[in-house]
Amino acid sequence: MRAGVASHDYDLFVIGAGSGGVRAARMAAQYGARVAVAEESRVGGTCVIRGCIPKKLLVYAAHFRDEFADARAFGWAVPEASLDWPTLIANKDREIDRLNGIYKRLLADAGATLIEARAVLADAHTVEVAAKRITAETILVAVGAWPERTSEPGAEYGITSNEAFHLPVLPRRVVVAGGGYIAVEFASIFNGLGSRVVQLYRGEQILRGFDDDVRNTVAGELRKQGIDLRVGTIIARTEKIGEAYRLTLSDGSVLDTDLVMYAIGRRPNTAGIGLERAGVRLDAVGAVVVDGFSRSSAPNIYAIGDCTNRVNLTPVAIKEGAAFADTVFGDRPWAMDHDDVPSAVFSQPPAAVVGLSEAEARRRGGAVDIYKSTFRPLKHTLTGRDETTMMKLVVDRATQRVVGAHMVGADAPEIIQGVAIAVKMGATKAQFDRTVGIHPSAAEEFVLMRKPEPDPVAEAAQ
C-alpha cells in the first residue's frame, strides 16, 4: 500500500457510496488504507436504491401480464389476474432495504468508516461533513448522476425515475417523455402493468447511439405492445386539470394523462460539492475530467462512475473503482478498458448489444460484412403473439473479426453477455461459425448466420 500522510485523518475519503465508491472503499481498506465514505442519501447509490435493481424488479412484474395470456396456448387454464400495486412496491422496498443493509455491512466488515451526511470539499485535502472538517491524502469522487428536468411551463408537475418507484397508486394513463433506455424501460413497465402509455421523443427515432436495426426493431415492438410512441414530438406546456394533467404538445395536439414522467437524460451530480475550489476541472456538462487512471486535474483527487460521464453503467463504475484501488493502494496499476462494454435495454422484448454498431463500424473507414436474422420466437408459434427477434453481427471484412453483436428479443441480455466474451477476445466470424449451436434456442442463431447482407451501394443499385 502507498504510504499515507500521518497528519491526515484518513488515507482515502470517498464521496458517494454507490456501487463504484463502495467497491473502491472496500478494496482500499483491505489493502490497509484508513478509509472513510460519505453518503448523503442511502448506501447503494443509483443502481441499488433508485435504478437498476428496483427497475428490474418492476420489469419482472410487467412480464406477467403476457405470461398469463400466453399460458393458455400451452394448455394452462389461468383465472383472470389482477395487480396489487401496493404489494409490489412494498415487496420491492423490502428488497432494497435488505440490499442497503448488505452494502453498509460490507463497508463495516472491510474496516471503512461510513458517514451518512453530505460531504463538500473545502480544498484538495479537506472535506466538510457532518459539521466537521476531515482531511485525507487521497479523495475519490463517486457521486453519480441525477435526472435532468425540463423548463417548459408546467414541467414541475412531472416526475423522474427517482419518484417512479414510490408512486402510491399505479396511474391509469402515463406519458413518458424521452427516448433513451430509461424512458423505453419505464414505458414498457407501465404498459406491462396495465397503464395506457404515450411515449414522446424529440428525435427521429428512440435509443440514439444504438444500432439502427436495434432502434427500429425496439420501436416496432413497443408499438405492437400497445405503446403510443410519437417521435419528433415534445411537451410544450402542462396544465393541472383536477387530479389529472393536460399536455399541449409541440405539434399542437392536446393530451390528457394522470402522470408525466421525464426521462430526458442524466447529468453528473457534481454541483455544489466544492470541486472547482479543490482544483478539479469539470467539462461543459459538469463531468469530472479524468485521465485513463481516473485521476482529475487535482493530483490527489480521483473520480469514477457516472460523474465522469464516460460509460455510465454500474459494472463499469465497479471496475473503475477496482482499478483505482489496485493502482493507488495495491501497487497493481491498471486502467479500465472502456471498449466493447456490453449493455442492455430492459424493454419488452429486451435489447442487448456489445461492440460497434453498423454505422460506427462504417464511420471508422473499413469495409464491413453485416449478418442479420429476424424471426418469430419458437414460443410464439403456439401463442400467436406478433413478436420479432432480431440478431445482428458486424464483422470487419479485412480481418473477419466480429466487432459488434446486437439483439432484440427474449433473453437478449443473458445471451449477449456470453457473446461479449467472444467479441472482447477478438473472435472471428469463422470461429463463430465453427461453434455448435444449442438447439432449439434463439442464441444458436449467432453461430448459424452464413449469408452477409448486401452492401448499401449494391442494395441501392438493385
Contact 142, 305 (CB under 8 A): yes
- Whether 321 and 20 have beta carbons less than 8 Å apart is answered as yes
Provide the sign of the torsion angle of the four alpha carbons 246, 251, 252, 253, taken in this order.
negative
End-to-end Cα spacing for the chain: 65
Could you tell me if 388 and 217 are in contact, meaning their C-beta atoms sit under 8 angstroms apart?
yes
Q: CA 365 → CA 236, 355, 359, 369, distances in Å?
A: 41, 16, 10, 13
Report CA 279 to chain centroid distance, whole Å: 30
Choose, from 125, 166, 406, 439, the residue flagged as catalytic. 439
C-alpha grid cell for residue 343? Answer: 449493455
Cβ neighbours of residue 82 under 8 Å, at least 6 residues apart?
none
Residue 439 known to be catalytic = yes
At 146, the amino acid letter reads W
For 70, what's the count of Cα atoms within 13 Å in the CB-facing half-sphere?
16
- Residue numbers annotated as active site: 439
